[in-house]
Amino acid sequence: MRRLPETSRSSASIGIAWSRSRSWVFKRRLPKTSVLDKSESPVKGGHIDVNSPLFADRLPALAAFVRDQAGELERGVLRERQSLDQRIRVFCNSERMREIEAVAPGWQAMAQFSDGATLIHVVKAMIALQLLPEYRGAPSDLRAMMEWSVFYHDIGKQAVAGKRDALHAFRSAALTARALPLAGFGTARPYAESLESWVALALSAFLPAPDGNGFVQDNRALPRILAGSEQLFGTRSPAALIVQAVLLHQSLDVVPEWPNAASLTEAEAPQCVSPALLPLLEGVMLVDSDAWQLLDPPRKAHFRQSTLAAFERVRRLVIA
């Protein structure tokens, strides 16, 4: 990754966002995981080819619940938002939350904010993924990465009613990098010694917002953060791409009604969004929008078309 030019935020943009607190990305001693030993280190551009663990194998009850709700939505049986919200709350009992926390440390803390609003949103995003045409038509390896990315995408969000957590994508990426070995993903050799410095880099890359209200991320750090994710997990490995999708899921202005505070410019986008990441990031951002309009088909369709149009612009920049 090349260092980004110091572009003005007034230049043409396509989107990013985040929040200041570091308290959530706590240090946690991970159990020993199998460290991949390849002759060519990812630091030197090597490629580690690792299959993603199956989400349904790690969290079978959650996977079955998501599939069941998606099926009822598709058949027209489930029609009311309040009914779905209540089903999610009942399903996410204390036992279930402990199961999820085991592969996603930070999940229970995320669920405590704003009366569980983010918990409900994330489960709805997972339901929306089951209905997404891009997911259904994707190869199995991409479907697996989509499932994990959507599951982790808001794990660091500190939702407060009436306010946007503008830094949550980077906080979520840091938590995701810690959690993936617990979910069964392999790591590259630099992981153990490099994780803490990478997390510190991701959490310290922020600037005061242009309007003076809070903070936005410092895009100049993105090439180092993205390259560091590949040092942790392997170049273009599923785990690295999952971390990158979580990291950048607030990076593009895809819905005019919800602009991001600090957006990638047209010059920055091709340096941050690789061709390998593009379909995964598109899937995550489509369902992130769909989840908010899951039972409002006209609004959902409107936001979907807006997101697809934004990604078509990004695709022309990235695959030039």
In this predicted model, what pLDDT tens digit does every residue of 243-256 receive, in sequence order?
999 999 988 888 88
Residue 218 lies in a domain: yes
Is pLDDT at 124 greater than 80 in this prediction?
yes
Count Cβ atoms within 10 A of the Cβ of residue 141 and give its class: 0-12 exposed, 13-18 middle, 19 or more buried.
exposed
Q: How far apart are CA 128 and CA 288, in angstroms?
A: 8
Q: Is residue 1 part of a domain?
A: no
pLDDT band at 259 (very low <50, low <70, confident <90, very high): confident
Residue 156 lies in a domain: yes
Residues of the chain with pLDDT > 90: what percent? 68
Question: Does residue 306 surpass a pLDDT of 50?
Answer: yes
Residue 2 belongs to a domain: no
Token duo for residue 130: 């089951």
What lies within 8 Å, CB to CB, of 213 at 6+ separation is none
C-alpha to C-alpha distances, 237 to 98, 172, 187, 276, 314, nearest whole angstrom: 28, 19, 9, 10, 22
pLDDT surpasses 80 at 44: no
- Mean pLDDT, range 86-96, rounded to an integer: 97
| Across 2-16, 95-109, 218-232, 268-282, least confident range | 2-16
pLDDT of 37 over the 70 cut: no
CA 249 vs. chain centroid, Å, equals: 5
Using H for helix, E for strand and C for coil, what is the string for 25-82? CCCCCCCCCCECCCCCCHHHCCECCCCCCCHHHHCHHHHHHHHHHHHHHHHCCCCCHH
Task: Reduce the DSSP state of residue 21 to 3 states and report it.
Answer: coil
Dist CA 110 CA 153 (whole Å): 11
Rg of the Cα trace of the chain? 18
Q: Which of 27-41, 201-215, 245-259 has the lowest mean pLDDT?
A: 27-41
- Give the number of domains in the chain: 1
Q: Does residue 25 have a pLDDT over 80?
A: no
pLDDT bracket for residue 51 (50, 70, 90): confident
Per-residue pLDDT band at 11 (split at 50, 70, 90): very low
pLDDT digits (tens, 9 = 90+) for 150-160: 999 999 998 77
**For the residues 192-202, what does the mean pLDDT come to?**
96
For the stretch 215-243, pLDDT in tens is 888 888 999 999 999 999 999 999 999 99
Q: How does residue 161 score in pLDDT terms, banded at 50, 70 and 90?
A: low
Q: What is the pLDDT of residue 162?
A: 64
Identify whether 172 is part of a domain.
yes
**Would residue 6 count as lying in a domain?**
no
According to DSSP, the residues that pair with 258 across neighbouring strands are none
Six-digit token string for 187: 């790591």
Mean confidence (pLDDT) of the chain: 85
Domain with 91, as residue range(s), is: 13-318
Please say if the pLDDT value at position 32 is more than 70: no
Q: Inform me whether the pLDDT recorded for 167 exceeds 60.
A: yes
293: left (phi over 0), alpha (psi -120 to 50) or beta: alpha
Residue 7 lies in a domain: no
d(CA 42, CA 234) in angstroms, rounded, equals 5
CA distance 314 to 208: 26
Q: What is the DSSP secondary structure assignment for residue 93, as one 8-state letter?
A: -
* Nearest-angstrom CA–CA distance, 283 and 285: 6
Helix (H, G, I), strand (E, B) or coil at 14: strand
- The CA-based angle 111-67-94, given to 5 degrees, is 30
The tokens for 7 are: 């572009």
Asked, for residue 5, whether it belongs to a domain, the answer is no
